[in-house]
Chains A and B, each alone.
Chain A
Amino acid sequence: MKNKDELLYTKEHIWISEENGRAWIGITDFAQKSLGELVFVDLPDIDDVILEGETFGTAESVKAVSDLFMPVDGTVVAVNEEASQDPEIVNQDAFTAWLIEISVTDQLQLSGLMSAEEYQLFINGDQ
């Protein structure tokens, strides 16, 4: 997987790491910090086809429940069982604790996402 500077980001605080049509998806460190200690992440089933902007799961912390929005269209090929069984690993390192792995339907959609730099500017404005 790529390091956080090479990832792509959404306004919904999701990161995506794409290589040759396969992509790993997780929540950003900013999202992790805002949510606080995660107690549960609900992830989709393998083979689910989820479109950009649809929810692929929820993350629940002691403070709030948050929907997780798909950054691009894709088919779920794997879910991180470790994260669903022990959500605290997302708090420990949000950029290595991926949540789902997908097969990307349309790689062109990736060009609409933010770079690390753009995302940083976005959250600075957000705060």
Chain B
Amino acid sequence: MIYDIAIIGAGPAGYTAAISAAKEGYQVALIEGDQLGGTCLNWGCIPTKTYYKNADFLKNLRSADVFGVSLQNFSFSLDEARKRKDEVVAQLKKGVAQLIEAHNITYINGQASFLSPSLLQVHGVETRQVQAKNIIIATGSKSRKLTISGADHSAILDSQSILELSELPQDLLIIGGGVIGIEFASIFNYFGSNVHVVEFMPDILLNEDREIVKRFLPLLKKQGVKVSLSAEVTDILPVENGFVVTIKNKKGQLETIEVSHVLQAAGRVANSSGLDIEKAGVEQNKGMITVDQNYMTTANAVFAIGDVNGISMLAHAASHQAIKVVEHIKNPDKKSKHGVIPSCTFSFPEISSVGLTEEQAIEKGINYKKNKFLFVANGKSLSLGNKDGFVKVITDQNHVILGVHILGPHASDLIHEAVLAVDQGLKVEDIADMIHAHPTLSEAFHEATAGIIGKAIHQI
């Protein structure tokens, strides 16, 4: 049989494309070489957010006295946390499997490679060929392997293997201060490990607004995480109970430290190995598959969505691209609108953002306005026991909201009103005129926005 659409990879990009296409009445084959749900569900977003909740619980226990609760002592089992994580993952995976089945999608477990732009060879339990009018590559990404001496040692953790630990590491030296590194640092710090983040660049979380990071870094350090900036790991030497790590510090001096565990979190790279994309005429640039505005590759009717095209390494960007690709296959002449992409970091407190940072506004030469509203002046935040963080709003001179950056409790949930504002090109007055319920954290966005035109009530 000839499928309308064959999809390689069943992560958030692939399975969303499959379900979306099936809803349009297409015959769909979904091919996955590993686990249904991909990195996001099995080794990324979901397991880490499950651990984040464990860390949050421990954080609350440690400040129990603030809430009038006295605890004699408590202990934490990483093995139990891991079991809970596995249950959450299994449940979600079952849900996705049910959706795949309910939409009559042919699910094939095996490694796919191209024989031509419309024909795939799949090596699974048996080898078979899959022919399709359209093929979507959604094979995601993998951890970037460092080229440091000793970094290939099997006991060095990556963002996947760290999730399988059943015993808590005494120390965790994290190479990389991006989102993945900072999330693991925040989580394992509250689990009880001695965490040290080593970042090559002069700052962490490079995609975020600098003012947010400037505020966040002292908070992270206060929680007990050691952070070395402009520092480079030059050598990792395995010893009896861990590793001796050599770090070239900011001043260029070499320091050695002995730690029980090392985590590589120096970013992710597109994963297109083993696909034989050249047989389909699909080109790539620096390992990322080249696509046009409709996510079509250099081969006709072959598309690439999600991490593999290098546009964004975020699951929600991947699933958005999946929906857009199916819309394009259905209606090639329709111009599709690409939404703005919010991003979230699950640290303590959370960080989220959408649209332009202040640095980007400066770089683009925009004559911008900005305002910040501190959570210390928000009643709901204080009642939750949080004084830290703020909402920052950036607009143009006509008060059109260009960017919003949040450091604070539930920032990942709060960002969506800002996503609506930036996506729809709303103005400050649109938000200022909207009634925000009291007492809520959302009032901080209302005040931060109203402050642009001097109408914030709880701000001087």
Q: Tell me the A residues contacting B by CB distance below 8 Å.
A: 37, 39-40, 42, 47, 62-64, 81, 84-86
Contacts and interface: CB of A to CB of B under 8 A. Distances in A.
A63 B218 CA distance: 20
Contacts of A84: 218
Interface string B376-406: 1100000000011000000000000000000
Interface of B: 214-215, 218-219, 221-222, 251, 374, 376-377, 387-388, 460
Given A62-B376, A63-B460, A39 B222 contact: no
A85 B376 contact: no
B460 A64 contact: yes
16 contacts: A37-B376, A39-B376, A39-B388, A40-B215, A40-B218, A42-B214, A47-B251, A62-B374, A62-B376, A62-B377, A63-B460, A84-B218, A85-B218, A85-B219, A85-B222, A86-B222
Contacts, number: 21
A14 to B, nearest CB: 21
A85 B218 CA distance: 5
Given A63-B460, A64-B460, A85 B374 contact: no
A85 B222 CA distance: 6
Contacts of A86: 222
Nearest to A82: B222
Interface centre among B214, B218, B219, B388 (most CB of A within 10 A): B218
Contacts of B388: 39
Q: Which 9 A-B pairs have the closest CB atoms?
A: A85-B222, A85-B218, A84-B218, A63-B460, A62-B376, A39-B376, A85-B221, A42-B214, A40-B215
Contacts of B222: 85-86
Contacts of A42: 214
B408 to A, nearest CB: 12
A103 B237 CA distance: 38
Contacts of A64: 460
